[in-house]
Each structure stands twice: as C-alpha cells, then as structure tokens.
Chains A and B, each alone.
Chain A
Amino acid sequence: MQRPHVGAIAIIILLAACAHDSRGSRVVTGEPPVIPRAPAAIEPGPAAESDVAPQPAASAPVTGPEGPAANVSAPAAGPTAPVASSTSSPSRPETPKSRASNQATVPKSAPVSPVPATAATAAAAALPPSKAATPPPLDLKGLEQRLRDTRAIGLFTKLSLKNQVDDLLAQFKAFHQGQSGVTLGQLRQKYELLLMKVVTLLQDGDPALASAVSSSREAIWTVLTDPQKFAAIGYST
C-alpha cells in the first residue's frame, strides 16, 4: 500500500513540476508579462505607430523628443489624447505622450485590448486635476493685503514696489485706451520682470506669499489684459 502511494505521490509531484514549467513558459507571455511586458510594450509601441500610419510615424519622432523638453505643451495636448484614444486609431500619434502619463497609471491595462475605455477614463480622471490646479482662484484683494502686511519686505521696498506696480498699471491703462505705443509683448516683459522682483523679495522671508503670487501670475495677467476685467479692478491714476 505504501509503495504505490509513494510512487503516486512522486508522479504527481513530477506532473505538477512539468505542468508548472509549461504553464510558466506559456504564461510568460500572459501573466508575468506585467513585469517583462512593461518594457516590451513601450518599445513595440513606437514601432506599431510607425507601422500604422506614415504621418503619425513622422510626427512620432518629433513629439518624442519634444515630450521631455516641453513639458508645458504636454498637458495641452494631453487632454486630446484620451479623447482621441477613446474613439479609434487617431490616438496613435499622441500615444507617446499618453504613454508617459500611462506609465504610472495604466501600464497593466495597456496590453489588454479591451481596456481603452478604462484607460481613457483613467487619463481623463488624471488630467482634470492638473487643469483644475492650473487656474487657482485669484484673490487680488487678499494678495494685496498680504503684501501690505508681510514683514519680509521693508517699508521703502514696499513703497518702491507699489510705485512700479502703479507705473505698470498706468501703462496698461494707456494700452487699453489705445494711447500707448507699447505692445502687449513689451507689457508682458515688464509684468514678468516686476513679478520676478516681488517673488525674489518674498521668497526668503515669506515663501508662502511668494508662492501665492507666483501661482497667480497667469490669473493676474488675464485680468490685466482683459479691458473689462482691468476696468473692474478700479485702477485710477
């Protein structure tokens, strides 16, 4: 009784070992792929792009190098990628960008074909926060009050900054009235320079306010360049 039993056990172990071995060799392409496929999926991607469409292939190498260099433009093109990917192949040309974002979020679902919907939703869910983060609520009065109250800048410095802000506002007023020979690009340069001065003066003594001013840069610029919004702030010389 014992000998056949031992023999059966040995056979079962051997069969299990063989089955495990064969399963492993097959599953390498299926399950474990999660680890090896991640690198493999990235490389075949561009090749597939170049194969799918010649135009995207031409654009793919262009966007590839631009991706890391111009991070600012990536978010702008990012939103279009998921939308296009949810529809059909047009997503191909922009997959490098989406791939960069997917590397952290959807690498596992990428290999599986039926996932585009979840990938699109995941990308869409990931992108809106960045968009929502870019336009912070602008509180001009609050910023002004904080600048008045901060102890990071001395009185003379505050007064000098106020003089320069008033000068710039006067130039914007003249610009909106068509009485200035200054272009919007020149005003932008002056605005950037002044904001740089403010942030530089604040960053050591009041980093929170410096960050708030810096993050409000575009919002303030929008107010300055929009005649209606500019009139609404009630600036008078």
Chain B
Amino acid sequence: MPARSILGLCGLTVLGLTGPVLAQAPSTGADLKATIALNGFPCDQVVDSKRNADSDYTATCKDGNRYRVYVDATGRVVVKKL
C-alpha cells in the first residue's frame, strides 16, 4: 500500500509539474484562430484543422467559415477565405 501510494503521489506530482508546461504551448487550433483574427477575419473558435503541408493548414471555424492559412515564399503568413 505505501509503495502504491508513493507511486501514485509521484505520478500526480509529475502530472502536476508537466501540466502547466504543456498548457503554455498553444494548440494548433488556438494558433490558427489567433492568426486568422490577426489577419482581420472573424473566427470565434477553430473546430477543425487539417494540415495540407508544412506551414499550410485549412481551418474550419465555429461559424462554418473555412480558411487556408499558410506561409508564402516571402515568409508572410497568408490567410485566404475558402
């Protein structure tokens, strides 16, 4: 019992320590949502995203709008409404 409880405690500690660290990194959906908003398009929440290629995504927002978000050859982030 003590061994189990110690193991459980250690597991919880590890989860507790890694949780905030993992939480700091924004998800792809959040990143796409912020990018879409930064480029002047409305997007309350990204409900689906599909990776087309490196730095090329298709995002579907909660309102149904779909956007292609990618980095062009000049290094600019482009958001195109589909």
Contact = CB atoms under 8 A, between A and B. Distances in A.
Contacts of A161: 38
B76 interface: yes
A152 B26 CA distance: 6
A235 interface: no
A156 B77 CA distance: 7
Contact of A159 (B24, B26, B27, B77): B77
Interface in A158-189: 159-161, 163-164
B38 A157 contact: yes
A154 B31 contact: yes
Give the interface size bracket for B toward A: 10 to 19
Contacts, number: 50
Chain A interface mostly helix, strand, loop or mixed?
helix
Chain B's interface: helix, strand, loop or mixed, by majority? mixed
A156 B25 contact: no
B42 to A, nearest CB: 15
Contact of B38 (A151, A155, A197, A205): A197
A164 B38 contact: yes
Interface of A: 151-157, 159-161, 163-164, 197, 201, 205
Interface of B: 24-28, 30-32, 34-35, 38-39, 55, 57, 69, 71, 75-77
